[in-house]
Amino acid sequence: MIQELRKIQRQSGAILIDNETRINSFSNDGEGFKTAYDRAVIYDCSHWGLLKLTGDDRLRFLHNQTTNNINKLKPGLACDTVFVNSTGRIIDLVTAYVTDDSILILVSPNRRHFLMEWMDRYIFPMDKVKITDVSEKNIVFTLIGSECTTLLKEGGINGLAELPPESHYLTTMGGASMRIAVGSGLAIPGYTLIIPINQAKTVWEQLMQLGIIPIGDRVWEQLRIRQGRPVYDQELTEDYNPLEAGLWRTISFEKGCYIGQETIARLNTYKGVKQRLWGVKLSQDILPDTPIILGSKKVGILTSFTEINQNFWGLAYISTKAGGVGLNIQIGKAIGQVVKVPFLTHEYY
C-alpha cells in the first residue's frame, strides 16, 4: 500500500531516500518555502512514529510521564508535551491526540522504539495501560500555509475555521477516512492528517488536485529552523531541558508530580535557566556544533543551520548571561545576530 503512495509521489518529482521511507525533495525548494507561508504545502512525515495508548489508565499514565497537563484533555483535544528523564532533560517533544478510546502520540523520527521501551518500564502490574506501535498502519501528512482552510473547504471539509486550537476529529475526503488535527507542528497555520495506510494514496491525490504543493525534508528543515522548531538529536537531547529549549507552553507548573518535575519546578521558581535556544541570522554558512564566541569567551553552540534564498540561518543555545535578541556573536568565521523565532517562548511563571 505504501508502494502505491510512493509511486504517485515519484510521479510528482519526489526524490526518495532511506529505503524510500523519506522524501528529500520535490526539486521545488524555493517555491515550496514561499508557498508554505502564502498558500499551502503538504509534507509527508510518515517516517515519524505514531504510538497508541489504550486502557482505562491511559490519561493518568501519560500525565505522569510528561510535562503537560494530559488529564485535562477531553476526547477531540490535543497538546504538545515533553518526555523528560529524572533530571528534567529532554527525551522527546511529542504531540498527544486524545480520542474516545485511546491517545495517539506523534513522536520524532527514530524515537518510537526508545519511547515504547521507556514507557513500558513504568507500567506496573495494576496499571490498565497498553502501548502499541501503529506507525506502520498509518500515514501522517502535515499541511502548512495560510490558505489550508480555504483549500480543504474546496475539497469538501467544512467547519475548520470554527475549530478551536489543538482540536481534532474524524472526517473523510474523496471517500477516504482520516483524522484531521488543527496545527502544522510549526508556528504557521495548518493541519496534521493521520490516515490509515490503505487510504493515504486517495487523500494525497485529492490534496494534489486542490493545488497543494508537496515539499520534502529540505524545505521542512528550512521552515522549522526559521520558525525555531527544535528537533531530536539537534536541539532536543539529554544535554538540555524544556525551559532552555523554549518549550514553556508544553509545561504545566500546576499539574503536580511527573518524572523530572522537581528539577523543572526548581528552575522556574529560582529562575535558574542558564542558557536559551534562539534563532541566529548568519553572515555565511557554518557547520552545526560550532562554538559561539562573545569577546573571547564561549557562550553557546550552534545546533542547526540552513541556507534560504542566499540567506543563512541557524538555531543556537546561548548563555542567558550573554544576552538574547539583538546580541551580536561570532560563530567560526561567521558573524551572527540573535533573533526571535515564533515557535519558542522564554518566560517565567
d(C-alpha 252, C-alpha 64), whole Å: 12
User: Can you tell me whether residue 234 is helix, strand or coil?
Assistant: coil
Give the residue from 221, 252, 270 where a domain finishes.
270
Beta-sheet pairing, 168-173 with 103-107: unpaired
What is the per-residue pLDDT across 49-97, written as a single tens digit (0 to 9) for each? Answer: 999 999 999 999 999 999 999 999 999 999 999 999 999 999 999 999 9
Distances (CA, A) of 66 to 78, 83, 272: 14, 5, 21
C-alpha 187 chain-centroid distance:
10
Among 270, 290, 309, identify where a domain stops: 270
265 plus 234 within the same structural domain: yes
Q: Give residue-wise pLDDT tens across range 231-283.
A: 999 999 999 999 999 999 999 999 989 999 999 999 999 999 999 999 999 99
135 and 11 belong to one structural domain: yes
Residue 104 and residue 52 in contact, taking contact as beta carbons nearer than 8 Å: yes
- CATH number of 218's domain: 3.30.1360.120
Residue 106 near residue 95, CB atoms below 8 Å: yes
Angle between helices 217-227 and 29-38 (to 10 degrees): 50
Strands 41-44 and 213-215: parallel
pTM of the model: 0.97
Q: Are 300 and 164 contained in the same domain?
A: no
Which tens digit of pLDDT belongs to each residue from 185-194?
Answer: 999 999 999 9
What domain range is 257 assigned to? 1-270
Decide: helix, strand or coil at residue 214: strand
